[in-house]
Amino acid sequence: MKLRDFFSTEAIKLDLEAETKDDALKELVACFGLDEKSDGILFKMLKRRENLGSTGIGRGIAIPHCRSLVVTRLRIAFGRKISGLDFKAIDEKPARYVFLIVAPPLEVSNQYLPVLGKIAQFSKEADVPDALAALSNPQELIELLESKGI
């Protein structure tokens, strides 16, 4: 399993329009091309997860995530907001890079946890925030993941 397999360039937004955390979640959920009702349910679940504690892990990175029956397979979206979003992150700094992960309640190959773990591990690498800042097109994110071998 490679992380890049879960990304599509349509779900990589290097210039999020959102100015708030909620709007960023909505904007990224919309990348999956679900119907409006499913978007609403996913957003609600992501918010409920955020209410348990922020998914902003620091160093400008947030990893909102949830499982929901409205998706049939694991999906990841990435959004970048260079000016930053208030994610109430652990280090209290704004989130600039958001990896959003959604998965169905049950998966045949149970990829949700490994994917979450790999993105968390990737996010902790020292050079990753700068590399994410330097991306000039969505394909470069895929190439970055490939270069990291994840």
User: Footprint of other proteins on this chain (CB under 8 A)?
Assistant: 37, 41, 44-45, 48-49, 51-55, 57, 63, 66-70, 72, 90, 104-106, 113, 116-117, 120
Number of H helices, E strands in the chain: 5, 6
| CB of 53 vs other proteins, minimal distance in Å | 4
Residue written as tokens 């947030």? 62
Nearer to other proteins, 4 or 67 (CB): 67
Angle between helical axes of 21-30 and 36-52 (0-180°, round to 10): 140
d(CA 133, CA 16): 13
Q: Judge whether 11 and 75 are in contact, CB under 8 Å.
A: yes
| CB of 17 vs other proteins, minimal distance in Å | 26
| CB of 7 vs other proteins, minimal distance in Å | 20
Nearer to other proteins, 110 or 137 (CB): 110
CA distances, 123 to each of 26, 31, 70, 131 (Å):
22, 21, 27, 11
Nearer to other proteins, 35 or 130 (CB): 35
Nearer to other proteins, 53 or 149 (CB): 53
| CB of 138 vs other proteins, minimal distance in Å | 25
